[in-house]
Amino acid sequence: MGSSILSIIYLIGSVTFVLGLKLLSKPDTARKGNLIAAGGMLLAILGTIFLYRVADQPLHNYGWIFTGLLIGTVVGVLSAKKVKMTAMPEMVSMFNGMGGACAALIAVVEFNHLINAITADTTAVAIAAAYVGGKLLIILLSLVIGAVSFAGSVIAWGKLRGKISDFSFNGQHLLNLGVLMLIAGLSVWLITGNIAATTATVVFNSIFLLALFYGVLFVLPIGGADMPVVISLLNSFTGVAAACGGFLYNNPVMLTGGILVGSAGTILTMLMCKAMNRSLKNVLIGSFGSSNRVATAGGKEQGHYKEISLNDAAVVMAYAGKVIIVPGYGLAVAQAQHVCSELESFLEERGVEVKYAIHPVAGRMPGHMNVLLAEADVAYEKLLEMEAANNEFASTDVVLVLGANDVVNPSAKTDPASPIYGMPILEVEQAKAVIVNKRSMKPGYAGIENDLFFQPKTSMLFGDAKKVLQDLLVAIKEA
């Protein structure tokens, strides 16, 4: 009876995951989708704890189980509530890494069970004979993918926090390939060879350490501008590792969740690469946006930029018919989303049409700007995707760029020598006037200068985005 109820619970959990993912596809239903999927996961966890049977025996050590759940819940809730929007990518990366670590630890536990199941004669026992149906292969896949995801996510977290710099050296890709081949070779030997249990344990632990090392090498050389793609890719790795855990335990809800995360992460990775006009291979070996990149796009001589005063900017925007705001990471750093929303509301009261243009890779993770503006209660219908925004720039009086850089750089279209050449951008230069708010003329995350800043229609408005928007709002009210 208990197993039948558990099967129904797992079915409900799987359905909530699919439904939640479907609702996440639209901003106005995303919150509801997240809650539905979370509810399904909670139901599946409680069902497993109270109804799952091992050799017709219920689980025990409930004290340890619920203590772990309580600690994890408290840490997760407090971390999520305290995190700033600028640190959201780091949190996503770290939480994703924890998922990879869990998958790897599951593999370690299951391998120990395998070793314990082997006969006492450990001198020449075939490890593969202990578990049939490729179970050892699944254990190894879960171990390697989970360890790579964990180590890579930790490095990504360090890069996003600014604590780890891009690092590469001649022959690093060959080293990466060599480590990967060594992992594959040891795995094949472990699966097919007649290995004593003690030797098998040493080989397994070596694979674990090599996978962690590969995860570090895998992410370390990748440049900052590619981090949204890397986070998405590592997320798909964690999903695949979780799906392997579902195979190990014959757990349909764990399998479904892992497959959904893995496939969604893979699709998102492909979309991110398309948005940057780069192949996944280029992302992984190209080091786009690394800290050692030169500061000019093609080594050409730039002209002079012009500044605009706060009062002049206020007049231009107050008497415009249509304004499009382009948010970037600088807006998130300044925590200026609420002031930006106030500015939008006041401009609309004066009869100005205001919209937002969102680039797919703006910020430090996919959807960063959407989440940032949603926090300030900006209406979803005002957020234009890149293609729609590009169709409206020509009829726009003023574009206000807030902390965005590489995603509005015209050299992506005009300069074959630029490292971002071919990347689809927001074509803000088509507007009648462009006002760019930045702290300084320092290059963006890709490490290259922006041709937009030196065009005749562009004016620079320097300063912290929050302070500038506050002063601009006051000046517009007086205009």
* 315 and 234 both lie in a single domain: no
| Domain assignment of residue 262, given as a range | 97-286
Q: Select from 160, 34, 85 the least CA-distant residue to 338.
A: 85
Instruction: Tell me the per-residue pLDDT of 87-134, one tens digit each, with 9 for 90 and over.
Output: 778 888 899 999 999 999 999 999 988 887 765 444 445 555 555 447
Pairwise CA distance, residues 267 & 405, whole Å: 26
- Mean predicted lDDT score pLDDT of the chain: 85
282 and 341 together in one domain: no
Q: Which letter does DSSP use for residue 122 in this model?
A: -
Catalytic residue IDs: 406
CA Rg value for the chain: 26
**279 lies in the same domain as 427:** no
Stated pTM of the model: 0.79
Residues 113 and 162 in one domain: yes
> Is position 228 within any domain?
yes
Q: Are 370 and 263 within one domain?
A: no
276 and 368 inside one domain: no
Does residue 188 lie within any of the structural domains? yes
pLDDT tens column, 1-32? 567 899 999 999 999 999 999 998 777 788 89
Model confidence over 383-438: pLDDT tens digits? 998 999 999 999 999 999 998 888 898 988 888 877 777 788 899 999 999 999 98
Do 451 and 416 fall within a single domain? yes
Q: Are residues 272 and 316 located together in one domain of the fold?
A: no
Nearest in space to 87 (alpha carbons), one of 136, 7, 160 = 160
- The half-sphere exposure of 144 on its side-chain side, counting CA atoms within 13 A, is 22
Question: What tokens were used for 344?
Answer: 């939008």
Q: Are 332 and 263 contained in the same domain? A: no
The mean pLDDT of 437-454, rounded to a whole number, is 78
Same domain, yes or no: 324 and 404 = yes
* Cα end-to-end span (Å), the chain: 74
18 falls within a domain: no
The DSSP call for residue 161 is: T
> 119 with 261, same domain?
yes
In a domain, 419, yes or no: yes
Alpha-carbon torsion (286, 289, 292, 297), positive or negative: positive
Number of separate domains in the chain:
2
